[in-house]
Amino acid sequence: MGGNQEGRSRIGSGRRLVVKVGSSSLTTPNGMIDVDRVDALVDVLAARTRAGTQLVLVSSGAIAAGLGPLGLRARPKDLATQQAAASVGQGVLVARYTSSFARYGLRVGQVLLTADDMMRRSHHRNAQRTLTKLLELGIVPVVNENDTVATDEIRFGDNDRLAALVAHLTHADGMVLLSDVDALYDGDPRRAGATRIAEVRGPEDLEGVELGTSGRVGTGGMITKVQAARIATGAGVPVVLTAAAHAAQALAGADVGTYFHPGGRHPGTRLLWLAHATTGRGRLHLDEGAVEAVVARRMSLLPAGVVKVEGDFAEGDPVDLCGPEGVPVARGLVNYDAAEIPELLGRSTRELASTLGPEYERELIHRDDIVILEPARA
């Protein structure tokens, strides 16, 4: 427990924090923004901001906030209507935050991001610069996924993962995930006998834990929150998961919710984003020797080790690398268009250079552009 409290104190004394709040913590049962709940959250965040902490607020709720104005009784299932609701609701949401923070003389800045923004190095560097400058100017950035333009194939789908990536992007001292559940439990908290998990040091602490499904209003359930916590802690950022009602205690470093200890390794931005902010645009199927070279020996992927190509992708796109069983074991940024690769399969780079030209002597994917996916580490 000593390590637990010592770790929580990092959040209590942190100078830059990311706070994520879910839709269900901000809205009424019929989908309208709950002014009292928003104001209660802002009361806590404003107090911490005025005390000198730089806060980034990652807020869901745009789609939920658009349900009422559009006369919808439930979250739409089709992407087009979700995007329409987000278009209406994002304005409602930010207007509410603007008004609420203004009570304390604080200003907010809207930052809308997509997974595609995070895939492209120039885009995420621009996002990093913008967030840093907003914080330096004393502005509270309010971050959300840009649901109005995100495609069904390339989107976060929840803001938990986005919050973890923003925490890494901004070099945050800690992250607090707020939801309608006060902690992670070893079973369904609605059932008798479920026990709060006070801290998580690694995956072994979650063995046998029931994580449940997504909620009625939002898209992120406990599964996505645990995944987000693993992303953040893998980048060295401690995480507290608790209910929005306990936001003040969590930010103060009190023993509430579940504390996720940060990992010892701090991967570079490039690999973290490749692993967690991208979706493979296609697949390259590898033979056993290539899997061994890429996963175990961390070598570049050469055409000789690829037996099949799937998908329509361009040079520079992320693609999944699959083993003989068809399971993705790694992801990388490919150096060729999909249409070029079939002619290269099974051939050495020396042979390709002599027959097709020196530009074909390069690898399919350079080792610096490959990240090993978690199932392959198990």
Q: Residues marked as binding for substrate?
A: 60, 147, 159
User: Residues comprising the binding site for ATP?
Assistant: 20, 179-180, 219-225
Closest CA to 356 of 303, 293, 286, 307: 303
Closest CA to 131 of 57, 20, 50: 57
Going from the C-alpha of 213 to that of each of 159, 222, 239, the distances in angstroms are 15, 7, 21
Q: Under DSSP, is residue 211 helix (H, G, I), strand (E, B) or coil? A: coil
DSSP per position, 134-164: HHHTT-EEEEEE-TTT--SSS--SSHHHHHH
Question: What are the helix (H) ranges across the chain?
Answer: 2-12, 35-50, 62-67, 79-102, 115-119, 121-136, 159-169, 222-234, 247-252, 269-276, 288-291, 349-356, 374-377
Task: Report the helix count and the strand count for the chain, using DSSP H and E.
Answer: 13, 13
User: Residues comprising the binding site?
Assistant: 20, 60, 147, 159, 179-180, 219-225
Q: Under DSSP, is residue 95 helix (H, G, I), strand (E, B) or coil? A: helix
Q: Under DSSP, is residue 282 helix (H, G, I), strand (E, B) or coil? A: strand
